[in-house]
Amino acid sequence: MQPSATIARGDAAVSLSHVSLHFETDVQALVDVSLEVAPGERLCVLGPNGSGKSTLASVICGLLAPDAGSVTLVGEPVLRDGAVDFAAYRRARRNLGLVFQNPDDQLVTTVVEEDVAFGPENLGVDPAQIGERVRRELHRVAMQDYAKADPTRLSGGQKQRVAIAGALAMEPAVIVFDEPGALLDVRGRRSIMRVMDALARDGITQVHVTHFMEEAFAADRVIVLDHGRIALSGTPDEVFSHERELRALGLEPPFAARLSELLRDRGVDVPWTCDDAELKASIASACAASHPTADDSGEKDAAPEVEAQTQPAPQDVAVSVEGVSFSYAGSSATRGGAGSRGALEDVSLAVRRGSLTSIVGQTGSGKSTLARLMCALETPDAGRIVVGGIDTRPRKNRRLVHQRIGYVMQHPERQLFAETVWQDVCYGPRNLGLDDAEVTRRASRALELVGLSGREQVSPFELSGGQQRLCAIAGILAMRPAAIVLDEPTAGLDPRGRSELRRILGDLHAHGVTIIQVTHSMEDAARSDQVVVLNNARLLMAGAPREVFTSHNAKMLRECGLGLPAPLAWAIELREAGVSLDLRQGSAPLTTESLADALAAVATPDPRDAHDQGGD
């Protein structure tokens, strides 16, 4: 694609000078921001939620005019010292593309190719050229086989790629990505990153707004926003070296950075870096230096000794799934792409009382269906599900089941409805028919657990996105269920929100609540008591993380679209590079800390005892 002719050579594609913007609520969204984006540059804007990064994205793609400062977009001076030139804005917008979080809101028709054609049609492009652009852009995002498909039936990642093709078909000089991966699973995020890499190779100017630091590596330049100000700016390496500031802002350093820091704490001689390849090479040399003859790979690839998994006694089982099959074909209209194929086929498992169980599997594997079945929102076609001794099938049992097992569905904040946080949280306990004193007690305890005490009289719609989710979760906790099922509870949260939620789940777990979470994060799964792996509607395996996540199973997990927890994946690669790590079942590292400990033991002949540095 040729960059638009409106930018003269050497001029910035986007130029912001001393820009400030505030919303009616007196919130300063941007404070004195100055920024230039060169043609062909790939800029990444990092920041936690509420840092003003989405506002900045809107300003850059011409959808929001700041209150003060000057803005020049693709050669059009749209704002001069706070004076808006609407005609210039309209001209500039024709050369700016935007892709944002929710792909559902960006698609305007129900045929993929028609949707990609929508933008060019709006620009008045000649019909013969539109067909050419649609073909080219669908090919670029690898969606050419879906030209006639209905986008509402595609996966999130596919939808988002259609949205990208739709933006590219308008041949913008600059394309802005506003958290395009926030609502996607790991696989969807990776596919978006691949598309962005391809665009960078084609020389297309990109501005990428995200809170995932891993996604910022490939950028030419990174800026970090904090409370509407540019806190840090530079190449990815320069910015990431300010680790303490980044952590203070609630951003999570990439895995390599965390590992290199832990290793340095343990006295291993590696440089601080966030570059995967560099860190692996230095670890390999550090370990080779201390163990010149470290090559004892003989005994490693023996099949893992299968530990007989002790079946929990019946009274210890919180949820028992016995030979369950389920298909959506029976309901009047089939949606969700499952077709008439079973959504679950002959799945059996037991969840021990008080345990933390993770259900993993790629999109469409039946995870959410299993969660819905456990909560008695569907009943199995065959087999049965028993929750706390109660069969979910009889209609009269459902209310009892709902009291015993709480269900936090995906994006629970979308189900908030009451005037105040307090009323929303009380809804469940009131339905249980409890007296006022008990309702009050439970609601305030639930709000305390999620850290929303003091916000009782606020409207739930005024809370931030992360707080809305916590409020919705409090609504479930107030019912005091013995077990709680969460469907992707951390999806769409920034790192601070994710760690907050992990802390809450940890608290509940410590109080003896059975927790079942559907998750895309192998790191979260590695921290649970039991991992259940679903693939194509069937149970692939179930067991403790150390039984499921082994080098032996790595290939099988990868084949069903799952990865290994990063520490184990690193350990396997490092061993292949000659580091003598013990990867037998039971001793393979599943957390960053245990990987660092294991490496420290190999690297230094006389390891300091670093085990007391636990925690995460």
Partner 1 sequence: MALRISMGQYVPRGSCIHRLDPRAKVGAALAVMITVFFVQTPAQLAFALAFAAAVLGLSKVPVRQALRSVRPLVVMLFLLGLFNLLYVQEGHVLLALGALRITTDGLWYAICYPLRFTVAVLMGALMLFTTTPTQLTDAVDACLAPLSAVGLPGHELAMVFSLMLRFIPTIADEAQAIVDAQAARGGAVGEGSLAHRVRAIGPVVVALLASSAHHAEGLSRALDARCYEGGSARSHWHPLHMAGRDWLALAICAAYVVVLLLLGML
Q: Please report, as a single letter, which amino acid is at residue 589.
A: P
Nearer to partner 1, 174 or 359 (CB): 174
In the complex, the smallest distance separating the C-beta of residue 39 from partner 1, rounded to whole angstroms, is 20
Name which position in 69, 75, 119, 236 contacts partner 1 (CB under 8 A): 119
Nearer to partner 1, 401 or 568 (CB): 401
In the complex, the smallest distance separating the C-beta of residue 395 from partner 1, rounded to whole angstroms, is 9
Q: Considering only 29-37, 164-172, 353-361, 510-518, which stretch makes contact with partner 1 by CB under 8 A?
A: 164-172
In the complex, the smallest distance separating the C-beta of residue 176 from partner 1, rounded to whole angstroms, is 8
- 375 touches partner 1 by CB under 8 A: yes
Nearer to partner 1, 98 or 600 (CB): 98
586: Cβ contacts below 8 Å, ≥ 6 apart: 546
Residue 440 token pair: 């009050």
- 63 touches partner 1 by CB under 8 A: yes
| Rg, the chain, Cα only | 26
Site for partner 1 in 392-451 (CB under 8 A): 398-399, 402-403, 406-407, 409, 412, 414-418, 427-428, 431-432
Site for partner 1 in 183-202 (CB under 8 A): none
Nearer to partner 1, 92 or 583 (CB): 92
Residue 509 token pair: 């777990």
In the complex, the smallest distance separating the C-beta of residue 119 from partner 1, rounded to whole angstroms, is 4
Which among 361, 302, 362, 359 has a CA at the least distance from the CA of 551? 302
SS (H, E, C) 551-612: CCCHHHHHHCCCCCCHHHHHHHHHHHCCCCCCCCCCCCCCCHHHHHHHHHHHHCCCCCCCHH
In the complex, the smallest distance separating the C-beta of residue 366 from partner 1, rounded to whole angstroms, is 17
**With 0-12 CB in 10 A as exposed, 13-18 as middle and 19+ as buried, what is 568?**
buried
Nearer to partner 1, 111 or 338 (CB): 111
SS (H, E, C) 116-139: HHHHHHHCCCCHHHHHHHHHHHHH
Site for partner 1 in 69-88 (CB under 8 A): none
Nearer to partner 1, 121 or 202 (CB): 121
Distance CA 424, CA 419 (A): 7
For the residues of 348-398, what is the DSSP string, one character each?
EEEEETT-EEEEE--TTSSHHHHHHHHTTSS--SEEEEEETTEES-SHHHH
- Residue located via tokens 């009782």: 456
Contact 251, 495 (CB under 8 A): yes
The site string for partner 1 over 280-319 (x = CB under 8 A, - otherwise) reads: ----------------------------------------
Name which position in 14, 117, 195, 385 contacts partner 1 (CB under 8 A): 117
Contact 564, 554 (CB under 8 A): yes
Q: Considering only 12-20, 148-156, 188-196, 595-603, which stretch makes contact with partner 1 by CB under 8 A?
A: 148-156
- 107 touches partner 1 by CB under 8 A: yes
- 166 touches partner 1 by CB under 8 A: yes
Name which position in 34, 122, 311, 348 contacts partner 1 (CB under 8 A): 122
Bridge partners, 100 (sequence order): 178
Produce one character per residue of 487-512: b if its CB has 16 or more CB atoms within 10 Å, e if not: bbbbbbbbbbbbebbbebbeebbeee
Nearer to partner 1, 194 or 414 (CB): 414
201: Cβ contacts below 8 Å, ≥ 6 apart: none
Name which position in 280, 372, 455, 498 contacts partner 1 (CB under 8 A): 372
SS (H, E, C) 94-112: CCEEEEECCHHHHCCCCCH
- 539 touches partner 1 by CB under 8 A: no
Q: Considering only 138-146, 193-201, 249-257, 475-483, which stretch makes contact with partner 1 by CB under 8 A?
A: 475-483
Q: Which positions lie near partner 1, rule CB under 8 A?
A: 58, 61, 63, 90, 93-94, 96-98, 100-102, 104-111, 114, 117-127, 130-131, 134, 148, 150, 152, 166-167, 170, 331-333, 335, 372, 375, 377, 398-399, 402-403, 406-407, 409, 412, 414-418, 427-428, 431-432, 461, 475-476, 479
